[in-house]
Structures are given as C-alpha cells and as structure tokens.
Amino acid sequence: MSYTLFDGAEPNPSIENIEDARKLYVDNKCQGIIAFGGGSSMDCAKAAGARVAKPRQSVAQMGGTLRVLKRIPTIFAVPTTAGTGSETTIAAVVTDRATHHKYAIQDLCLIPRYAVLDPELTIGLPPHITSTTGMDALTHAVEAYTNLFAPKSTDRLAEQAVQLIFDNLEKVYKDGTDLTARYNMQLASFYGGAAFTRACVGYVHGVAHTLGGLYGTPHGLANAVILPYVMEAFGPAVYHKLAKLADIVHIQGKDDKEKAKAFIREIRRMNADMKIQDKFDFIQDADVPQMIKWAMKEANPIYPVPVLWHQPEFQALIARIRA
C-alpha cells in the first residue's frame, strides 16, 4: 500500500496548517487518512478531511455545529496520548492565527470511522503530558455528566471514564511503563470523548479554548486548572451528580453537598500531587473582555450547562483562575 506522510501537524492546529494537510492529500490523490498522534494531529486530520469534502467552504465557515454535513475521507485514528478523545468525537479544534481565536468544528461526519487503542504508543509520554491529558479526559467526563438532558447511556460512559481515571491516572504518572494502566487511560479517554459527543462539554472548555488561542496554553492543562473552579461555581446545581461520581470512586460524605465538595477537593489534590498548577499568571487585563466574548459565543446557548452564565459569572471565574 502506498502512502504519503504529512508530518507538519502543529500544537493547536491553525487554519494554515490544515490547508497544508489538505493540499498534500489532494496533490497526492490520497483516498483516506491515518491520523496518528495526539489531539492536535487528529484534529488537523479531521479538519483537513472536511476541507477535502467541502473545497468551496473555508475552515472559518465550518466553525460551529453541523456546518460540514458531508461525508469526509475515511479516517483511522491512532491516538498516542490519553485525553482528548478525538478518536471518537465530533469535534476538530482550530486556531485562527490572525485573531488568536480558538474554536471547534463540530459535525457527526468528523467522527473517525476506526480507532486503534495501543497502549504501547503512550509509553514514552512524559509525566506532565500524561497528567494533563488525563485531566482533560476527566473534564470531558465530568462536564458531560453534569450537563442537562444527557441520556443514561452517556451517563454510564462518563461514570466508567471517571472511575478508570481515578484508578489509573496517578499510576501511570508515577510509572509510565504500566501497560495495563496506560490502556485503561486510553479507554477512559475514549469513553469521555464518546460521552461529550452526545452530551456536550461546558464552560470549562469555553474558557480553556480562549487560553489556548491567546496564549498557546495546552488544552489539557487549561482544563485541569479550570475544572474545579467551574464545578465549585455551579454549586447546588451539580451536587447530586458530583455526589454520584463521589460514590463511584469511594469518596465519603454525609450528604450530596458534602460528597460533591469532597469530589472537587480530590480533583485539586490530584492536580497538586501531579504538579499541575492551580492558577495562571499570564492573563492580561486587556484580554479579559475578549475571553468572555469568545467563551459566551462558544457555549451559549449550545452547551446544556446546569447553570446559565453571563458576563458577570465569566468575569468572576477568570478572576479566580488568575494568579
């Protein structure tokens, strides 16, 4: 079988990066795509496939939900990290270099036809990437689980993902050669991606994307830091769901409120033990209004979040995550 290699995928793939991949595909008359790598590589491949299918529609015009609506080239996704879940999601996240706006193309046709989960491909991941990508998967599961209107099947996927992450992430952080734990983290990533494909993500992602676009913050790191702050701010609206997750991972408490708060504390404890920071010291005052605008545009009204936020709530969240 002949093949052509595109090895130019960038972290947080840009429109130009996607167009380079599309050109190589078309120039070499390719018939399918093997997306090998982390979330950025898979997102680049998925967006390039969309451009192949819709050559008269720009990447920017595809931004948002259900704006491709055409079968793209067959994609075989082979993840080398355990976090993004892009091998099973409807999303490809893109960054506009000119404006620093990071946004998602979301369409059912972007779900890869096949996914290959091989834990040996993740053995060489450094501890910090292992931890932040793992917390990315946790964010997908928790946001999907606490969103409104999710079907029971999605809840089960999110519950499985959370349990696998609590049981295995710190193991692979400490011992990256543990193949069983590595595979369990790949399953957790897959389940978390499948969960949010049906139930959506939420405000953690809305704000995290602004940090990735403006400052190049790795997506998993942004999610890891922001997740406990958002769940805390949602308050009673998520106590029951977080308490159920606490039960699954054997966190004790006398009632839903106590269990939910203990679950949030455990997220913070995991972050701290894996040397993940708890705030960001680079957010500029001048960027905050743009961050709020982008986060609100992405999330409202598409994401079925448990509490609807407007400008004041986003302002308060950004203030809390700043060092």
Q: What is the pLDDT of residue 43?
A: 97
Confidence of residue 263 (pLDDT cuts 50, 70, 90): very high
In a domain, 110, yes or no: yes
In a domain, 286, yes or no: yes
Average pLDDT over every residue of 143-172? 96
Whether 188 and 227 map to the same domain: the answer is: yes
Average pLDDT over every residue of 39-63? 97
Give this prediction's pTM: 0.96
Checking if the pLDDT of 219 tops 90, the result is yes
Whether 22 and 132 map to the same domain: the answer is: no
State percent of the chain over pLDDT 70. 100
What is the CATH classification number for the domain harbouring 69? Answer: 3.40.50.1970
Checking if the pLDDT of 276 tops 90, the result is yes
Whether 129 and 106 map to the same domain: the answer is: no
Whether 154 and 284 map to the same domain: the answer is: yes
| Boundary-marking domain end, from 115, 142, 175 | 115
Average pLDDT over every residue of 222-233? 98
Report yes or no: 227 and 142 within 8 Å, Cβ to Cβ. yes
In a domain, 97, yes or no: yes
DSSP 30-81: ---EEEEESHHHHHHHHHHHHHHH-TTS-HHHH-EES---SPPPPEEEEESS
What is the CATH classification number for the domain harbouring 283? Answer: 1.20.1090.10
Whether 196 and 284 map to the same domain: the answer is: yes
State percent of the chain over pLDDT 90. 98
Confidence of residue 1 (pLDDT cuts 50, 70, 90): confident
Whether 83 and 151 map to the same domain: the answer is: no
Whether 191 and 297 map to the same domain: the answer is: yes
Give residue 284's Cα distance to chain centre: 24
Whether 106 and 127 map to the same domain: the answer is: no
- What is the spatial distance between Cα 164 and Cα 150, in angstroms, rounded to a whole number? 20
- What is the spatial distance between Cα 323 and Cα 311, in angstroms, rounded to a whole number? 20
- Over residues 74-133, the pLDDT tens digits come to 999 999 999 999 999 999 999 999 999 999 999 999 999 999 999 999 999 999 999 999
Whether 312 and 234 map to the same domain: the answer is: yes
Whether 169 and 88 map to the same domain: the answer is: no
Whether 45 and 145 map to the same domain: the answer is: no
Checking if the pLDDT of 150 tops 90, the result is no
In a domain, 51, yes or no: yes
| Boundary-marking domain end, from 88, 115, 142 | 115
- Count of structural domains within the chain: 2
Whether 88 and 137 map to the same domain: the answer is: no
In a domain, 104, yes or no: yes
Residue numbers of the domain that contains 198? 122-321
In a domain, 219, yes or no: yes
Checking if the pLDDT of 199 tops 90, the result is yes
Report yes or no: 315 and 288 within 8 Å, Cβ to Cβ. yes
Coil vs helix vs strand at 103: strand
